């Protein structure tokens, strides 16, 4: 007789990117390039670090549970009201909170197959029904297929744009067609973790769409372009009633004092964001072309990472060969891509190191 509910018994824990220190310890190497978790290769904003040092002096005090300054700063930047913003311990917590707060037993969480695994985990760990629609052409969200999976039990839809792990994106006109078909009682959570990297024509203006679709919840993070993954800070923009319900469910102090300070300062550091964007715009083509030259199928990406498929090369084996050469990437067999690696765009030196390691590992 298991001591946990069956949906916990069968849950597969999330597998994070391997930390640098762990790889160095296990393989007796140094100078490891971590290209496994889509972090900002340039590090945190220096302004955020300065703010953290200052805030740390008050670490004996609980943080402001309402994150007043951070929510105000976000609202100012986004042109929304502070009560339309809520923050959490990474956008991953927002994903969990949306399921916890809104999805009743018997109701369904719907998304695309092969997308960010946190949506599935959030539903499964509460025993909620999880429904997914196939991708099109192997790597692309198919909003029409997702629409066809809407049922009277659907309560929450997750859409990642750009998607992780593929890096692909869909257009605003496709999203509008989808939103028009969704009943108003169904929440649509649009996960824009990589929005700051996007330059594709026809990409959504989610802040404008929110005004037309009150059931739209936009999720964003400080973990990617802001370079603050280690502080755990994410936020959502939604109508106040939605945030109000989430506030009842979340832990009272779900974002730390230092994370809040870092977030406010990072929002004011436009230069750091610009540098992060410029690096990815310059290096993503370099990395992608290098990967293609090594025989990979490289999926078009609007994120700070690319998905590279090496036909005939089991993902785990290639991943381990690269680890021994001091490069950590992310095999994505668990997502349904058994021969692919998701590779974060690093600094030029890291990308060169990655390509050199691949050349060696592939025997080219």
Ligand X SMILES: Cc1ncc(COP(=O)(O)O)c(C=O)c1O
Per CB under 6 A, residues contacting ligand X are: 38, 90-92, 116, 160, 164, 191, 193, 221, 223, 229, 234
Q: State whether the Cα torsion 18-308-303-322 is positive or negative.
A: positive
Cβ proximity to ligand X, 234 vs 243, nearer residue: 234
Cβ proximity to ligand X, 328 vs 361, nearer residue: 328
Instruction: Give the tokens for residue 304.
Output: 């700070």
Cβ proximity to ligand X, 229 vs 321, nearer residue: 229
* Residue closest to ligand X, measured at CB: 90
Q: Do residues 240 and 81 lie in contact, with contact meaning Cβ atoms separated by under 8 Å?
A: yes
CB of 193 to ligand X, least distance (A): 4
CB of 344 to ligand X, least distance (A): 10
Q: DSSP letter for 64, please.
A: -
Q: Do residues 327 and 30 lie in contact, with contact meaning Cβ atoms separated by under 8 Å?
A: no
Cβ proximity to ligand X, 98 vs 361, nearer residue: 98
CB of 16 to ligand X, least distance (A): 9
CB of 92 to ligand X, least distance (A): 3
Q: Do residues 307 and 335 lie in contact, with contact meaning Cβ atoms separated by under 8 Å?
A: no
In angstroms, the CA 46 to CA 322 distance is 31
Residue count (the chain) = 364
CB of 1 to ligand X, least distance (A): 35
Instruction: Give the tokens for residue 315.
Output: 């993902």
In angstroms, the CA 213 to CA 211 distance is 6
Cβ proximity to ligand X, 38 vs 339, nearer residue: 38
CB of 144 to ligand X, least distance (A): 21
CB of 40 to ligand X, least distance (A): 12
Distances in Å between the alpha carbon of 151 and those of 7, 27, 49, 75, 229? 22, 50, 47, 34, 36
Segment (H or E) for 226: none
Residues linked to residue 160 through DSSP beta bridges, in sequence order: 191
Cβ neighbors of 288 (< 8 A, separation 6 or more) are 298, 301, 306
Cβ proximity to ligand X, 125 vs 324, nearer residue: 125
Measured at the CA of 329, the angle between CA 327 and CA 331, to 5 degrees, comes to 140
Q: Please compute, for residue 253, the number of CA atoms within 13 A of its CA located in the half-sphere on the CB side.
A: 8
Cβ proximity to ligand X, 160 vs 358, nearer residue: 160
- Give the pairing type, strands 305-309 and 129-133: unpaired
For 111, phi and psi rounded to 5 degrees? Answer: -160, -165
CB of 198 to ligand X, least distance (A): 13
């Amino acid at each position: 007789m298991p001591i946990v509910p069956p949906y916990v018994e069968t849950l597969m824990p999330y597998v994070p990117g391997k930390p640098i220190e762990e790889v160095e310890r296990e393989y007796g190497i140094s100078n490891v390039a971590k290209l496994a978790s889509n972090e900002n290769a340039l590090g945190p904003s220096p302004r955020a670090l300065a703010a953290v040092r200052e805030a740390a002096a008050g670490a004996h005090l609980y943080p402001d549970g309402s994150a007043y300054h951070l929510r105000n700063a976000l609202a100012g930047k986004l042109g929304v009201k502070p009560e339309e913003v809520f923050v959490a311990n990474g956008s991953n917590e927002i994903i969990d909170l949306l399921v916890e707060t809104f999805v009743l037993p018997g109701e369904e969480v719907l998304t695309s197959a092969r997308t960010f695994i946190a949506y599935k985990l959030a539903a499964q760990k509460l025993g909620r029904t999880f429904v997914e629609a196939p991708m099109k052409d192997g790597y692309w969200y198919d909003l029409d297929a997702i629409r066809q999976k809407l049922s009277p039990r659907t309560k929450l839809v997750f859409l990642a744009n750009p998607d992780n792990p593929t890096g692909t994106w869909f257009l605003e006109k496709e999203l509008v067609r989808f939103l028009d078909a969704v009943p108003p009682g169904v929440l649509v959570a649009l996960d824009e973790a990589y929005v700051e990297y996007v330059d594709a024509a026809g990409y959504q203006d989610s802040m404008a769409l929110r005004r037309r679709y009150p059931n739209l919840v936009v999720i964003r993070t400080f973990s990617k372009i802001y370079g603050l993954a280690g502080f755990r800070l994410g936020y959502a923009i939604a109508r106040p009633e939605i945030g109000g319900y989430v506030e009842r469910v979340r832990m009272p102090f779900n974002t730390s004092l230092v994370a809040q300070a870092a977030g406010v300062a990072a929002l004011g550091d436009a230069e750091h964001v610009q540098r992060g964007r410029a690096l990815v715009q310059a290096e993503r083509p370099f990395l992608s072309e290098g990967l293609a030259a090594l025989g990979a199928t490289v999926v078009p990406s609007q994120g700070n990472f690319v998905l590279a498929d090496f036909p005939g090369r089991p993902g785990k084996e290639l991943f381990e060969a690269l680890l021994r050469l001091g490069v950590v990437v992310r095999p994505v067999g668990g997502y349904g891509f058994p021969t692919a690696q998701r590779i974060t765009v690093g600094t030029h030196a890291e990308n060169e190191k990655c390509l050199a390691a691949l050349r060696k590992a592939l025997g080219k």
